[in-house]
Amino acid sequence: MTQVVAALIRQGNKFMIFQRPENKTRAFQWEFVGGKVESGETLEEALIRECHEEIGVTVEVGDVFMEVDHEYPDITIHLTLFNAEIREGTPQRLEHNDIRCITPDEIPQYRFCPADDEILKKIISDF
């Protein structure tokens, strides 16, 4: 099982989502920013690194919003989604096709990665 971390970045009553690029698996699907935890990293360290690499910002990692396990055809992941806040920088599309801020009501308009399904249900009910 691959450990993956991601950030739930809120902006008022909205949260940030990121569209995967054409050249990666699950192309053009939407997700939360993040990625795989590397050997020797804590989950928090991995999330800080991934946010810097993927969107060019420094984040402050908060508490865990939710954890999910998901099996894709090519990989099985344990995803830990943290509440996070941008401390420095403006999000850039360094690795993503697009970036949006949406409300929970707008979730059905986007095609998300399947691992995010349970998380999105919780956002709708808890946000």
Radius of gyration in angstroms for the set of CA atoms belonging to the chain, rounded to a whole number: 13
CATH number for the domain that contains residue 53 = 3.90.79.10
Amino acid 127: pLDDT = 82
In the DSSP assignment, the letter for residue 52 is H
| 62 CB neighbour count, 10 Å cutoff | 14
Enclosing domain of residue 43: 2-126
Strand, coil or helix: 6: strand
**pLDDT one digit per residue (tens) for the chain, 127 residues:** 999 999 999 999 999 999 999 998 899 999 999 999 999 999 999 999 999 999 999 999 999 999 999 999 999 999 999 999 999 999 999 999 999 999 999 999 999 999 999 999 999 998 8
Count of the separate structural domains present in the chain = 1
